[in-house]
Structure 1
Amino acid sequence: MPLKFNAIFGELEGQSWIIYFQPGIITTFLFVLTSVNGILWVTEKRLKISDRGTVAGIKFGHIIAASVISDTVVIIVQVGIVIFMMVYLYDLDIKGSWELAVLLMFLVSLSGQSFGYLFATLTNNEMDIIIILMFLNGVLLVGSGVVWPLETVRMSWRVLCLMLPVSIPTASLRSIIFRGWGLDHTEVLQGFAVTICWIVVTLGVNIWLNRRKK
């Protein structure tokens, strides 16, 4: 009885590891890049700039909202540069919806930004948050399915890996790019839902922690 093998991602022949890496590299790079904004918030805390704003009646929620709005333009530029480099330098071919892929990248960037503000709230100097971001970058590269499929790891380790903020979005972006799937597939929808949940939860915890400090 002849057997027919179908590739889960891409093609069985002629596909390099670089092509498989692309979605994970995109999500991880954008996440870490935008989380670096937390360093600026730590600097403002150390220089007591944020305290002056509090005295003037500016609430932390106002700062977060203003930062998200002002950094949206920066995030859009970053996403555009990443897509340009992947398409023209690494032959990225998005078989699915470009709109969905770009929107997911944008949400992942916002998620990284919200994590950056959370780390800034939990630390008091720039070196602490830099060490956290360096550690997080390594964990994301190893454990979020960027360089190795999570389907091949032990179930106990896979559960922990799926709890990382870019694991499920990476799988969703990979399905959009290689499979051409849309929101009618659960795996793609999960990526958007998980990313939005991380944004809401981290921002909510961040605002709650700052209110408790007062």
Structure 2
Amino acid sequence: MDSMKPLINNGPPVYGTKNPSFNSFVSPGALIVVAYFATTTVTCHLLIKERTDGLVDRNLVAGVKPLEFVLSHIILQLFMLSFQVGLKLVLAFAVFAVPNMGSIVSASALTFLQGCCGLMFGLMISSLCPDEMYATTLCIGAFFPTVIMGGMFWPLESMPTGLRYFSQILPSSLAIESLRSILLRGWGLSHYQVVVGFMRLGY
């Protein structure tokens, strides 16, 4: 009778369920991408608008130093980012029922730091683009590759080798995998896949 037993015994999954939902897979990527590009768009358009309206020149003539001007915008955007991250996480967990098996502190910190990277990217765009049309074009040009190849919809493990290396260069790919490991697997900073997402944000 032992010969009639199946060779492979499919037990319960280690993480999640046997039939995971599309919502649970996409939600970590949506949180990261929205935190990054919402901050990028607001920052670059706000600075370009002030520059084209002559507010930057007026502040400099009044005695405001360039460092003080930039720091004031960074502090303002960080306050707005904190509110946005809190609101997104509340909506994700309370309204859309996104599963959370890990630490809410780690998830919040990772999302906030990703927004900080978007803030720096917005500052760079505002310094490179002369007007809002160029800034919008550059933001859209950076948005679609991140959404399509950053691991939000298409898992990095299923990509061809060359495309996988390119996707890991994108600013949100490793952060998406880290947040997915925190929320769906309950992993913490003791796991490499979570730590590497924070390390990517450091440089």
TM-score (normalizing by structure 1): 0.85
Is 1:28 equivalent to 2:33 in the alignment? yes
**Aligned counterpart for 2:106 among listed residues 100, 106, 121:** 100
Aligned partners of 1:95 and 1:180 also within 8 Å: yes
- Alpha-carbon offset, residue 57 of structure 1: 4.2
* 1:48-59 mapped onto 2 (5 Å cutoff): 48-59=54-65
Q: Deviations over 1:103-138 (max 9, x none)?
A: 111101111111011011110001111111122221
- Alpha-carbon offset, residue 6 of structure 1: 7.1
Unaligned runs of 5+ in 1: 198-214
* 1:52-71 mapped onto 2 (5 Å cutoff): 52-71=58-77
CA distance in 1, matches of 2:177, 2:70: 29
Identity of aligned residues (%): 27
TM-score (normalizing by structure 2): 0.89
Look up the match of 2:16: 10
Q: Rate the CA distance shift 1:88–1:44 in 2: closer, same or farther, 3 A.
A: same
- Alpha-carbon offset, residue 157 of structure 1: 0.8
Task: Report the 3-state secondary structure (helix = DSSP H, G, I; strand = E; otherwise coil) of the residue aligned with 1:168.
Answer: helix
Aligned partners of 2:39 and 2:77 also within 8 Å: no
CA distance in 1, matches of 2:56, 2:126: 12
Look up the match of 1:76: 82
- Computing the radius of gyration over CA atoms, which structure comes out larger, 1 or 2? 2
Task: Report the 3-state secondary structure (helix = DSSP H, G, I; strand = E; otherwise coil) of the residue aligned with 2:38.
Answer: helix
- The residue identity in structure 1 corresponding to 2:66 is F
- Alpha-carbon offset, residue 96 of structure 1: 0.8
The alignment of Structure 1 onto Structure 2 pairs a total of residues equal to 196
Task: Report the 3-state secondary structure (helix = DSSP H, G, I; strand = E; otherwise coil) of the residue aligned with 1:124.
Answer: coil
Q: CA RMSD in A?
A: 1.8
Unaligned runs of 5+ in 2: 1-6
Q: Deviations over 1:14-64 (max 9, x none)?
A: x21111000000000111111112111111222232233334443433223
Task: Report the 3-state secondary structure (helix = DSSP H, G, I; strand = E; otherwise coil) of the residue aligned with 2:174.
Answer: helix
- Alpha-carbon offset, residue 12 of structure 1: 2.1
Structure 1 runs of 4+ with >6 Å offset: none
CA distance in 2, matches of 1:152, 1:5: 24
CA distance in 2, matches of 1:130, 1:56: 30
Aligned partners of 1:111 and 1:196 also within 8 Å: no
